[in-house]
Amino acid sequence: MSWQDRHYNRESQGFGFQRQPQPRGTVVMWLIGINCVIFVLDGLTQGSKRASWLSLSDAGAFSIERALYGLQLWRWVTYQFLHGDFLHLLFNMIGLFFFGRLMESWWGARRFIAFYLFCGTSGAFLFTLLSFVPGLLDVGPGTTLVGASGSVFGILVGCALLYPHQRVMLMFPPIPMSMRTMALVFLGIAALSVTFGSMNAGGDAAHLGGAALGYILVIRPQLLAFAEGGGGMRERLHHRHAERNRQRRQGENAEVDRILDKVREHGLHSLSGREKRLLKKATDRQRRAG
């Protein structure tokens, strides 16, 4: 019989950890707001000769010449928040609003942010890779790439994997179809654009890059486990601390059992000062626990 099983010990055991649920769509709305604010600010700086040196597009747009050759690594991310014109912004934000909230509710806030940014970065990566294929993309080292489309395509593919039969409405023309069919339609258009060299072949290469990584991350979600960040670290530390306490308590309980057996066989007077202090500590702890 252990110390915990004796009638004078009824200390409750165990602990629990419950993560607070993230508000649905919160990150998506922040991303939409950030994209819209940046679009307005970028328009203001581009329209003013005095403020032209503050141009966000010049500072953040992706190009092979600057991002790769010039090692301006921030451009792999910042280009995702810049847009060429209002319609470019509008359609990306519509896609982010309708499909992004589904993905955020599935990933959680931290992992969704990582998913979004990595898909966009993957879009720039495939754009760069395919630009070196002779005759495929009519782009040069200085050709700029902007837009959240790579991220949105990653989100679209993720939704198609998770909710393939959910019915959605294509905007132009307004045709109802499944999520999977919509994803395949957009991917097919992008693939044809890259293959046959349309005017937006570079942008469609980025779309395919984002879609490819979106597919990989959804079927291998553990790849984004690191993105739990502080919350995940706190959970691990909490469990580690509780495990150490449990092991320490087991050791103390075994020692108390030995002391109680000694008292039963030889009397209380046989205990050393250390043994008396340990027994008193265990008794006090039990009283506090009720």
Q: What residue type is 99 in one-letter code? A: F
Question: What percentage of residues in the chain have a pLDDT greater than 70?
Answer: 82
| Sign, Cα dihedral of 124, 126, 127, 129 | positive
Distances (CA, A) of 86 to 21, 92, 121, 145, 175: 34, 10, 22, 16, 24
pTM of the model: 0.70
Write phi, then psi, for 273 (nearest 5 degrees). Answer: -60, -40
pLDDT at 6: 46
Q: How confident is the model over 231-273, as pLDDT tens digits?
A: 554 555 556 666 677 777 777 788 888 888 888 888 888 888 8
User: Could you state, in order of their start, the residue ranges of all structural domains in the chain?
Assistant: 26-219, 231-289
Across 212-218, average pLDDT: 97
Residue 36 contacts residue 89 (beta carbons within 8 Å): yes
pLDDT at 286: 78
Query: Per DSSP, what are the bridge partners of residue 169?
Result: 176
What letter would DSSP give residue 18? -
Higher-confidence position of 254 and 59 = 59
Which residue, 63, 46, 47, is CA-closest to 55?
46
What CATH number is given for 26-219 in this structure? Answer: 1.20.1540.10
Look at residue 16 and tell me whether its pLDDT is greater than 70.
no
Max avg pLDDT among 38-52, 99-113, 163-177, 241-255: 99-113
